[in-house]
């Protein structure tokens, strides 16, 4: 997310009005760990656009009948999934780069299994002094 969406600019009363909830609801969500507004030096809460997106997700889940503990678990799992997807994207990029770094001559030397010939020797004939 961009830095501008993380910039905490809304005081609790304005944020509550934008979100259409009571300020006490925001305090409850903060106490339960669902929202984490930034604090000024004086201790006042400041909410960001990211907080608004999180609040919208909380409202969506609670409207679907999920209790606050369930909302917390779902949002935690969604955050883990986002992180895993980001990590997978980074790893895919690294893998592509590593693949491009393999010298062409090594790629040329690789032969598909369907184009290979396997030669088997009878080990019992060799042990009796026979030739392969």
In a domain, 73, yes or no: yes
Half-sphere CA count of 83, side-chain side, radius 13 A: 6
In a domain, 37, yes or no: yes
In a domain, 90, yes or no: yes
In a domain, 26, yes or no: yes
In a domain, 70, yes or no: yes
Q: Which domain holds residue 87?
A: 3-127
Across the chain, mean pLDDT equals: 85
pTM of the predicted protein model: 0.66
Determine the pLDDT at residue 88: 97
User: Which CATH number goes with the domain that contains 107?
Assistant: 1.10.1660.10
Say if residues 74 and 61 touch (Cβ distance below 8 Å). yes
In a domain, 36, yes or no: yes
- pLDDT of 128 higher than 60: no
End-to-end CA distance of the chain: 68
In a domain, 132, yes or no: no
Secondary structure E strands in the chain: 38-39, 45-46
**Average pLDDT of span 39-60:** 94
Q: How many domains does the chain have?
A: 1
């Amino acid at each position: 997310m961009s830095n501008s969406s993380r910039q905490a600019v809304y005081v609790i009363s304005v944020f509550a009005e934008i979100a259409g909830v009571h300020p006490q609801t925001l305090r409850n969500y903060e106490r339960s760990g669902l929202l984490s507004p930034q604090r000024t030096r004086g201790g006042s809460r400041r909410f960001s656009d990211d907080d608004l997106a999180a609040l919208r997700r909380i409202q969506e889940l609670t409207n679907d009948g999920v209790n606050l503990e369930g909302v917390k678990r779902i949002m935690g799992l969604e955050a883990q999934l986002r992180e895993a997807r980001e990590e997978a994207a980074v790893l895919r990029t690294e893998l592509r780069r590593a693949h491009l770094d393999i010298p062409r001559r090594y790629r040329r030397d690789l032969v598909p299994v369907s184009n290979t010939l396997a030669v088997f020797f009878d080990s019992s004939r060799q042990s009796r002094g026979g030739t392969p």
